[in-house]
Amino acid sequence: MVELAEKALSRVFDSTVAKPHGFVTADFKEVADRTPYSAEINVRHVAFTPCSAAGGAYFPADTIQLLHGPGTFEHSYLMYQFPTETISLRDVDERPVLTKDSDLLKKIVGLAFYRV
């Protein structure tokens, strides 16, 4: 999925005169056969920012440091790496969840309802 995200971002920047820069997230969905596709690209903090923070990537702090102390900010490209199987889940009406893919079913078995 990282390769797909990088390809999608390259297409966006290739169609403009801008060089890649800033805070960018790529959201994916999957079709019925579980093939992922790029659903949207965001150039802002998004609803799963708390999940990233729980995993060690506190993007709001990075943004504040960049805005208030740009001389001390590390400007080189940084890709936060999370442990294998780490996934973040979010829904409009629910709190974001950071979990392992293998633990997902264990956590949702006790839910009284499922969103479709």
Domain boundaries, the chain: 1-44, 48-116
Decide: 72 and 84 in contact? Cβ < 8 Å.
no
Under-70 pLDDT residues of the chain: 21-23, 69-70, 75, 77-78, 90-92, 104-116
Tokens of 95: 């709190």
34-54: pLDDT as tens digits: 888 878 887 777 777 777 777
3-state secondary structure at position 17: coil
Q: What angle do CA 4, 105, 81 make, to 5 degrees?
A: 40
